[in-house]
């Protein structure tokens, strides 16, 4: 008996990716099934952007670790989406609630552009990081509403932190609405460029697990402490599983 011929040449690609490949058609249009799948993915992405993270519940779950719920200068979600600059700075009333440092590390959990990513993954990543970095002086965990990555620079500067780690909901796509990112910055201060930080992205069910992400974060934190820099001058040598520095880039960051 001859072997059955697979009439779908794209099946083997779809088995290894969540991307929409070879989705088929009916006439000149997509099939009804694919249209409905697209609409569902789009709705989940919108919900992720417009949703709110339950930071009160997260603060309770973190006990006895101290957690402070702070707010950016963006007064609401609509303003946050229209004015990215306001999400990068801390509201004056929130600044007054910050204590004093110095601290080795401060963690900031920001809602960013995906509340669902924060709800699903942030607590697991944070708990694992706190366990692995227990020997360091870690400041209070900052839970930041309507915040973007640079929010952590102002917080870190105010708390005299050597390093700030921002866990933030990434911009959702049609493949996943719940992807978390982590940004590690040495010597945080207001006005830093993104080139001064290291990013670990795609922390979600089909990407990096919370444990894998925490291992990478803690690895970078320790190397940043030793080398006193982050960003383009601090690179992962994945082949040798080591962190290396770009000597040419490092002086610019330290300046």
Q: Say if residue 251's pLDDT is above 60.
A: no
> What domains are there in the chain, each with its CATH number?
52-254 (3.40.50.11240)
Cα–Cα distance measured from residue 55 to residue 39, given in angstroms and rounded to the nearest whole number: 29
Cα–Cα distance measured from residue 221 to residue 141, given in angstroms and rounded to the nearest whole number: 16
Q: Which residue has the tokens 């080591």?
A: 242
pLDDT digits (tens, 9 = 90+) for 63-93: 999 999 999 999 999 999 999 999 999 999 9
pLDDT digits (tens, 9 = 90+) for 174-201: 778 889 999 999 999 999 999 999 999 9
What's the pLDDT at 18?
73
Q: How many CB atoms are closer than 10 A to CB 153?
A: 26
What's the pLDDT at 5?
57
Token output for 238: 């994945």
pLDDT classification of 247: cutoffs 50, 70, 90: very low
Q: Say if residue 148's pLDDT is above 50.
A: yes
Average pLDDT, the chain: 86
Sign of the dihedral defined by the CA atoms of residues 112, 123, 143, 132, in that order = negative
Please state whether the peptide bond connecting residue 86 to the residue before it is cis, i.e. omega within 30 degrees of 0: no
Instruction: Kindly state the average pLDDT of the residues 101-125.
Output: 94
Q: Which residues contact 108 (CB under 8 A, 6 or more apart)?
A: 141, 142, 144, 147, 151, 152, 155, 156, 164, 165, 166, 167
Q: Say if residue 109's pLDDT is above 90.
A: yes
């Amino acid at each position: 008996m001859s072997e059955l011929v697979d009439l779908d040449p794209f099946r083997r690609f779809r088995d290894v990716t969540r991307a929409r490949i070879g989705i088929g058609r009916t006439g000149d249009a997509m099939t009804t099934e694919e249209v409905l799948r697209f609409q569902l993915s789009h709705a989940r992405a919108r919900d992720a952007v417009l949703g709110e993270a339950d930071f009160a519940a997260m603060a309770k779950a973190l006990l006895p670790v101290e957690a402070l719920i702070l707010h950016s200068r963006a007064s609401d979600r609509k303003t946050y989406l229209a004015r990215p600059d306001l999400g990068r700075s801390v509201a004056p009333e929130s600044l007054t609630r910050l204590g004093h440092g110095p601290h080795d590390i401060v963690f900031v959990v920001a809602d960013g552009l995906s509340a669902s990513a924060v709800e699903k993954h942030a607590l697991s990543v944070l708990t694992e990081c706190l366990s692995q970095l227990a020997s360091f002086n870690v400041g209070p965990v900052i839970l930041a509403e309507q915040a973007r990555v640079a929010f952590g620079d102002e917080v870190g500067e105010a708390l005299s932190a050597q390093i700030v780690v921002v866990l933030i909901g990434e911009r959702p796509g049609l493949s996943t609405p719940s992807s978390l990112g982590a940004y590690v910055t040495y010597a945080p201060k207001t006005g830093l460029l993104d080139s001064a930080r290291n990013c670990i992205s795609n922390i979600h069910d089909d990407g990096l697990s919370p444990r894998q992400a925490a291992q990478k974060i803690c690895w970078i934190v320790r190397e940043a402490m030793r080398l006193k820099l982050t960003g383009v001058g601090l690179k992962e040598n994945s082949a040798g599983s080591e962190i290396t520095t770009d000597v040419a880039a490092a002086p610019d960051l330290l300046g």
